[in-house]
Structure 1
């Protein structure tokens, strides 16, 4: 795209939805306080719904990547029902992106590369926190101290920790306008197109 201005992106949508997302994401960096924050919605196999905010760490050729404990409630839900929705809302620029797609684990090698880039405290925390379990006062800190004693500065990637990728089947871009006449453009994956080079049907939606 020749311009990253969000209005231009919706006036002349590029054929690749991830290209549009990258343009929007780059454009909001100076204005949005935490542009990488996204709401992740999941459902268990029984249909129990949950939503929480996680941080986008990468947008690759296949989709949107975040990292977490594989024993957490969200990971258990994704393992049982590998469908998810994401929502980004950048209040400062009146923009929103909605994603619906399939969840898959990223490779061990990708998780290892990202884990090694984290500060030492975050690596210790990944080991110390048995995410989503009930804990007593001081339990997590005590485990963190034991991890520090065990590994020192060379904290390895835990087997129970890594990345999830949401491979989009649908992406909607929303740009707020006066009088609620918002711009909305939806990308729908063409059935049968490959995950790493999908084709998209592009539609405009009423506000």
Structure 2
């Protein structure tokens, strides 16, 4: 895909949704951290359902530690991989309290030191909480980037590297959420909706369905 097409696509997304936001519901830095950890291999809808109840009981590192690992598991048991996620959340809360006085650090290296926080999660937190121009590549971003030919790559790291190269700075803050929403509701894994696609005239997917 050439530069002109990419700019057309990004401009259309910007015009259609100038300030895209994550669909995860949170009211503090720590709540977003927990929600993103819980979102691994789960949908935002399920995560929001779980956190709506969890955050009423515990929404700070101290609260999580007071709750205890067993009670935490019980609170999130309806989500996939709840055992390991509960352990990661508990260890993260402990590290935050002991080393960072309960404050989420504004540093990729420090964020990635938390259990359950990888590069994608760190990119999301840096982007949303600290307004950094990071581009997190999840399954939706990976699919949209490759399918449209916007930024092809065999793995998420290759796609992230390509996106950072071809996306102008002015669009970097928002491209993750644009692609996530597009992949979630239009350019879905199986039943993609090309008729409803606002970038269909610039997309280079060879198997478009109309």
TM-score normalised by L of structure 1: 0.27
Which structure shows the bigger proportion of residues in helix conformation? Answer: 2
Which structure shows the bigger proportion of residues in strand conformation? Answer: 1
TM-score normalised by L of structure 2: 0.27
